């Protein structure tokens, strides 16, 4: 969090397909990362930047991108909706991480799974709500700059006001059932 622009800018989170779709559908209620969500982004609307399926933990995107770019030499990427993260869970052991598999959907044998001797901590960003845009094409020509890992600052936002939202997921019922066992932000 050493960069001081977190509180004054709009951001997008890169997520590979199908994880992005599962989050927007309300099926993935915890997004797992090897890094913490910057505190200023907790509770803020973060656009979901969908990239194509690739290698676990490896971005296919450059540090400066434009959504909807159809150049044959660039990976396809679109803003498909948005999410708001209400809390962060800090997993420090395999048992707790795997106990929430139904929330984060990371299978034990996945490249994103817990690896004994290698994984020391995983951050679980708890999804408070999410929206899916009716058409990713409405989010074209957005200029983004990578600020930290999979978080991109949105430099131009001309089309967001016109976007149609078609589905809201609040995930409240599912989260309430598990909230007793989950610690608040550490």
Could you please report the per-residue DSSP string of 104-159?
H---TTSTTS--TTT---EEEEEEEEEEEES-GGGG-S-EEEEEETTEEEES--TT
pLDDT at 62: 82
What confidence score (pLDDT) does residue 78 get? 87
Contact 42/86 with Cβ under 8 angstroms?
A: yes
Here the tokens at position 58 are 């490896």
Cβ atoms within 10 Å, residue 48 = 26
In the predicted model, residues of the chain with pLDDT beneath 50 are 137, 159-166, 173, 175-177, 179-181, 185
pLDDT (0 to 100) of residue 169? 64
Q: Give the pLDDT confidence score for residue 77 in this predicted structure.
A: 84
Q: How far apart (Å, rounded) are the C-alpha atoms in residues 29 and 130?
A: 10
In whole angstroms, give the CA distance from residue 71 to residue 69. Answer: 6
Can you tell me the distance from the alpha carbon of 49 to that of 16, in angstroms, rounded to the nearest whole number? 8
pLDDT at 7 (0 to 100):
82
Nearest partner of 11 among 108, 149, 162, judged by Cα? 149
């Amino acid at each position: 969090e050493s960069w001081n622009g977190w509180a004054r800018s709009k951001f997008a989170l890169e997520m590979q397909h199908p994880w992005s779709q599962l989050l927007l559908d309300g099926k993935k209620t915890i997004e797992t990362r090897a890094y913490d969500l910057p505190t200023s982004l907790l509770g803020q609307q973060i656009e979901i930047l969908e990239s194509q399926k690739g290698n676990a933990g490896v971005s296919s995107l450059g540090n400066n991108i434009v959504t909807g770019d159809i150049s044959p030499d660039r990976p396809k990427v679109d803003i498909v909706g948005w999410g708001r993260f209400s809390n962060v869970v800090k997993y420090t052991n395999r048992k707790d991480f795997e106990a929430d598999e139904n929330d984060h959907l990371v299978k034990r044998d996945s490249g994103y799974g817990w690896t004994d001797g290698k994984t020391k901590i995983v951050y679980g960003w708890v999804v408070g709500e999410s929206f899916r845009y009716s058409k990713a094409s409405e989010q074209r020509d957005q200029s983004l700059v990578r600020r930290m890992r999979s978080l991109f600052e949105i430099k131009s936002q001309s089309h967001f006001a016109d976007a149609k939202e078609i589905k809201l997921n609040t995930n409240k019922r599912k989260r309430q059932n598990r909230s007793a066992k989950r610690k608040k932000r550490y």
